[in-house]
């Protein structure tokens, strides 16, 4: 795949994979990173079950895969990760078509922008239903088959927002922090069974997630928060102009799929390692002053 190497890429932290079937289930494959990952895996030789909340997006996915002759290796499936019945049905169909699932990419997610005081409870719940509980249900559905074979890889699509909290991101931060904690426990649960778990922690990529989730604030947001939020939107816009294409992020997932992750966390993306280092190493008062200065512009 063309493009500059991805900062924080897998490199030597991936070893030769155990015997693993080249079949994958990718959730949230209707656009953005999920679509690019499904296509990249198919181009690398995987047979891919592509989970789509909106099955009408299947044509765009297959058209994208057809460019490099990979469309015949993609099976689009109706799969809303907030619907446990759809998850189980999609997994059964994928296992029936492919003989099993060797790789799960838990990608489905969205970002709810807003401040804690004003973000309605139903949006908090939906943030967790999609970003955490949907991933849990999907893992539960694929694990029996992986356990029987004694092999498998689960790639959890996390975020730098699962390590660093920022204003206006509270619900998204909380869901990604929760995903990271669960994923670490899951890795310890499954490692003795021959099943690997890796958490990719991406920074910003051109996927559209921020444009959708941060288009505006809930109407009853107090005016006190609005200047800060406008500054956050401006920072997000500038970041989007500099961010790499989602295909580079998808390429990292393919590299993980083709090997065995020796590490649990894989931070990747422009400036991610620097941001994590600053958060971890700077004295908190200094770090907080830097954040406040950034928000003031």
Residues classed as catalytic: 172
Pairing of strands 47-52, 23-26: parallel
Q: How far is CA 215 from CA 113, 144, 237, 245, 248, in A?
A: 8, 40, 11, 21, 25
Phi, psi of 131 (to 5 degrees): -80, -25
Tokens at residue 231, please? 């500054």
Buried b (16+ CB within 10 A) or exposed e, 31-43: bbbbbbbbbbbbb
Pairing of strands 74-78, 195-202: unpaired
Q: How far is CA 54 from CA 16, 57, 69, 76, in A?
A: 36, 6, 23, 10
Buried b (16+ CB within 10 A) or exposed e, 244-256: bebbbbbbbbbbb
Distance CA 291, CA 130 (A): 29
Helix (H) or strand (E) holding 104: strand 103-106
- Could you give the residue ranges of the DSSP H alpha helices within the chain? 32-43, 58-66, 84-98, 121-128, 134-149, 170-190, 209-213, 226-242, 246-257, 272-281, 284-296
Tokens at residue 230, please? 């406008």
SS (H, E, C) 133-145: HHHHHHHHHHHHH
Structure letter (DSSP) for residue 91? H
């Amino acid at each position: 795949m063309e493009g500059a190497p991805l900062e924080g890429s897998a490199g030597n932290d991936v070893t030769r994979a155990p015997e693993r079937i080249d079949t994958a289930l990718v959730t949230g494959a209707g656009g953005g990173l999920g679509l690019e990952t499904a296509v990249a895996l198919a181009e690398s030789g995987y047979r891919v079950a592509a989970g789509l909340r909106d099955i009408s997006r299947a044509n765009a996915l297959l058209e994208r895969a057809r460019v490099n002759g990979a469309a015949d290796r993609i099976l689009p499936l109706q799969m809303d990760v907030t619907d446990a019945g759809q998850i189980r049905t999609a997994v059964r169909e994928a296992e029936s078509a492919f003989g099993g699932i060797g790789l799960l990419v838990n990608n489905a997610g969205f970002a709810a922008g807003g401040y804690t005081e004003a973000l309605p409870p139903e949006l908090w719940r939906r943030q967790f239903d999609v970003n955490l509980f949907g991933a849990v249900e999907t893992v539960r559905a694929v694990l029996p088959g992986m356990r029987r074979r004694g092999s498998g890889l689960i790639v959890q699509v996390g975020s730098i927002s699962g390590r660093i909290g920022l204003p206006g991101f509270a619900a998204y931060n909380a869901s990604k922090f929760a995903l990271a904690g669960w994923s670490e426990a899951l890795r310890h649960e499954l490692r003795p069974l021959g099943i690997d778990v890796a958490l990719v922690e991406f920074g910003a990529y051109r996927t559209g997630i921020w444009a959708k989730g941060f288009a505006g604030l809930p109407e009853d947001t107090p005016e006190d928060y609005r200047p800060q939020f406008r500054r956050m939107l401006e920072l997000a816009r500038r970041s989007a102009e500099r961010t790499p294409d989602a295909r580079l992020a998808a390429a990292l997932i393919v590299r993980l799929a083709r090997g065995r992750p020796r590490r649990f966390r894989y931070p990747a993306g422009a400036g991610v390692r620097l941001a994590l280092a600053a958060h971890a190493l700077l004295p908190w008062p200094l770090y907080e002053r830097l954040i406040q200065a950034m928000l003031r512009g």
